[in-house]
Structure 1
Amino acid sequence: MTRSVMRYVKHRITQQPDTWLTFAAECMTCDWKAKSSTDGAPVDVECMTHTGRTGHATFRRSCTSLALVERAE
């Protein structure tokens, strides 16, 4: 019989220092995509402009960050 020792170590996850959130959006009706930005407002404006030109009103929006996991000691 093999014995195993289980060890639990607490960890924490934070945003990687010196990095920024990135906002993006894509139309769910066509292949259009907004230019990614570190500010969400310009991405939203691009979506509204796309809606005004095409009538497409459904978008997938995403906010991406770089995460850092380290032991909590």
Structure 2
Amino acid sequence: MTRSVLRYVKHRITQQPDTDVTFDAECLTYDCDWQATPSEDGAAVDVECMSHTGRTGHGGFRRTCTSFALVVRNE
């Protein structure tokens, strides 16, 4: 019989240093290829979505927030 020793190491996840969060959005209306300009300012993307709604009447959007993560051991 083989015995094993298990060691558990705690980790944490943080945002990668020297990187920014990027916000983006795209219209969900069928046959509409509109996309907001990616930005580090989420409010600017929201304004673009509202402007698109005002011009087209399209009200559904997929908003994404992208960041880079780093997993490190707790010390």
Unaligned stretches of 5+ in structure 2? none
Normalization by structure 2: what TM-score? 0.87
Q: How does 1:12-23 map to 2 (within 5 A)?
A: 12-23=12-23
Unaligned stretches of 5+ in structure 1? none
1:9-44 Cα deviation digits (max 9, x unpaired): 100000111111100001110221101000011101
Deviation at 1:3, TM superposition (A): 4.5
Q: Is 1:27 aligned to 2:27, yes or no?
A: yes
Q: How far, CA to CA, are the matches of 2:67 and 2:42 in structure 1?
A: 13
State, as a whole percentage, how many aligned pairs show the same letter.
77
Q: How far, CA to CA, are the matches of 2:8 and 2:35 in structure 1?
A: 43
The structure-2 alpha-carbon separation of the partners of 1:33 and 1:2, relative to structure 1 and needing over 3 Å to count, comes to farther
- Corresponding position of 1:64: 66
Normalization by structure 1: what TM-score? 0.89
Report the secondary structure of 2:63's partner residue.
strand
The alignment covers a number of residue pairs equal to 73
Report the secondary structure of 1:60's partner residue.
strand
> CA RMSD for the aligned pairs?
1.3
